[in-house]
Amino acid sequence: MQQRFAFFGGSFDPPHLGHLRIIESALAELELDKLLIVPNFLNPFKEKFCFAPDLRFQWLRILCLSLPQFISEKLEVLDYEIRQNAPTPTYQTLQFIQQFYDLSPEDKIYLLIGADNVESLHLWQNFPLLQKSVEFVIIPRKGFGIPREFRILPFCELDISSTQIRKKLKSKDCGDLSRLIPQPILESILKETNCKKTDKKPLK
């Protein structure tokens, strides 16, 4: 019987409710047996991360546990790339997943990526082999087009990004972060950044 796997990689620096909605949509639309969430140690196209890899891994586990049990049972946060302690090509992660989960050529593997990554896909290591091994599923993002040949994940875009959250934390503008990040994760983030949560009142 064919298995249907998907993996969703990224920095998740930090994870937020937008990531949660993507996870929910992927499980609903792709009829998956397993969805692997794969935080990287460091994005190969970036020079640094904000939050330590082990923190991001733990926060993602908390994020997944916030879902109902019948959904969370299909989820696994994979620490493979973090354990490499270096930027890890996606094709290398794919090979690990195929071997570790004993997947056959008949099994279906989806790779979830943001629309902002489509233009640079040809630069990914071993892209031709990756293209033959997975079906790309593109997560819409405002301001980025998606070529017709790609499958699109039905997803109601939220105005949330990790970049936006990091900017708020840097400026100590933490008042509305509870709308963007689950409370247990937010409390840990605020402790890490020494950013105090305040409930701002709108200016009259």
35: which 2 tokens?
Answer: 């969805």
Query: What number of residues does the chain have?
Result: 204
pLDDT at 193: 81
Averages of pLDDT over runs of 10 residues in the chain (204 residues) are 94 94 94 96 87 95 89 93 95 97 96 94 95 96 90 80 87 82 91 57 30
113 phi, psi to nearest 5 deg: -140, 150
C-alpha distances in angstroms, 199 versus 14, 177, 179, 195? 21, 10, 12, 13
116: which 2 tokens?
Answer: 């902002």
Spatial separation of the C-alpha atoms in residues 139 and 129, rounded to whole Å: 21
pLDDT at 198: 35
| Residue with token string 């997803």 | 155
Checking DSSP bridges between strand 135-139 and strand 75-77, what pairing results, if any?
unpaired
pLDDT at 174: 76
Q: Domains (ranges, CATH) in the chain? A: 4-158 (3.40.50.620)
Determine contact, residues 26/137, Cβ cutoff 8 Å: yes
Closest among 42, 134, 37 to 88, alpha carbons compared: 42
Determine contact, residues 71/26, Cβ cutoff 8 Å: no
pLDDT at 194: 64
pLDDT at 103: 96
pTM: 0.89
Spatial separation of the C-alpha atoms in residues 64 and 68, rounded to whole Å: 9
